[in-house]
Amino acid sequence: MIRNVVVGVSGGVDSAVSAHLLAERGFKVLGVFMRNWDEADEVGRCSGEADLKDAEWACRQLGVELRQVNYVREYWTAVFSQFLDDYQLGLTPNPDILCNRHIKFDLFHKHALENLGYDAVATGHYARNSLGNYLEGIASNNDARLLIPADTFKDQTFFLAGIPRKALQRTMFPLGDFQKSQVKDLAKKIGLQRLAKKKESTGICFVGKRNFKDFIQEYITSKHGPFLDIDSGAVVGHHEGIHQWTVGQRCRLSSFLQPYFVARKEAASNTIYVASGHNHPALLSTHIDVDPPNWLCSKSQKILSDTGSLRCRFRFQHTKPLVDCRLSISPSNTFLVELDAPLRAITPGQYAVFYDDTACLGSARILSANPIKKTNAQTQQAQAANLVS
């Protein structure tokens, strides 16, 4: 039986309300604040200290003990260093997925269960567990599945798609059946108005409010290179480093009738290939090569292993609609995603996340996306449209 639960308390309304819901149900609750970023070098640029104060205040209001754990060194090694390496290779990483995989649902999860000796971990994520949001069904010995929450707009299963499957067996999601508006209303009722009014953090935590290009230049040296028209091969401009650009981004090059967008980056030659027009064929893909998936659903994993293919649904950005797809595995153990409809700006380094109608099945890092084939007429039209005005 589960009695003792560690809650990851962030200083936000979601984790605080999660702690309240657990205490209300009679669990012994311990709040733990994770420090993942060293602010000694980033004075005034990150909200970490303010978040800690909010976490301390919320736990006092709730009568919950709060402790801290420091993962600054581990975060730098497992998340931030990988983030920088990927950008230098022309990739666009997702540090939120890496943080959940390596820090929150690995190091922190093990700390709570093994070092502190608690029975389970709870978080303020908008997600559901098939064993119950409070692990009511843990005695069934069934495998836990990561289910889509009631609030599909706030759905955070995308960011949890890379976590170890084992961690789900001991993870509670108290907000799984709540809408965000209900969470804020409940916070006000229990005396947490301060958090209910707090502005939600968005974007990459260690970047803070800074312009991303300014931030990344502190860690990666600028290196000038050409923008090449992907159709004609002509130089249409210059950039200051491939790490400052991502696939699908508008380049804002002057003197062209149609805007150019990043289609592909080549790290070896420091070249960015650009395509004329928002929906140029070079920006659209249906075939995607991915790494071996991290599976959260053993049934889906077995289907793919036994039959060589799996019908499921796909997204690579958490706010975008799901697209039907076929995931297949070749005899050489390579994985291919074939989309039923083309998507724009599928980006190497990001994650393909797979779903069925009710659950997140797992994820795989995107290696490459193959653009749809364009006709000669399309190529000629693109070149003609971008004659210098």
* Catalytic (active-site) positions: 99, 205
Q: Label the pairing between strands 225-229 and 271-276.
A: parallel
Rounded Cα distance, 371 and 353, in Å: 20
CA separation for the pair 226, 238 (Å, rounded): 4
User: Are the C-beta atoms of residues 47 and 209 closer than 8 Å to each other?
Assistant: no
**100 — alpha (psi -120 to 50), left (phi > 0) or beta?**
alpha
Where residue 166 falls (left for φ over 0; alpha for ψ -120 to 50; beta otherwise) is alpha
Distance CA 178, CA 77 (A): 35
Burial string for 292-327 (b: 16+ CB within 10 Å, else e) reads ebbbbbeebbebbeeeeebebbbbbebeeeebebeb
Q: State how far the alpha carbon of 18 is from the alpha carbons of 123, 125, 183, in Å.
A: 7, 9, 9
Separation in Å, CA 39 to CA 46, 69, 208: 7, 15, 11
| Chain centroid, CA 140 distance in Å | 31
Strands 28-35 and 4-8: parallel
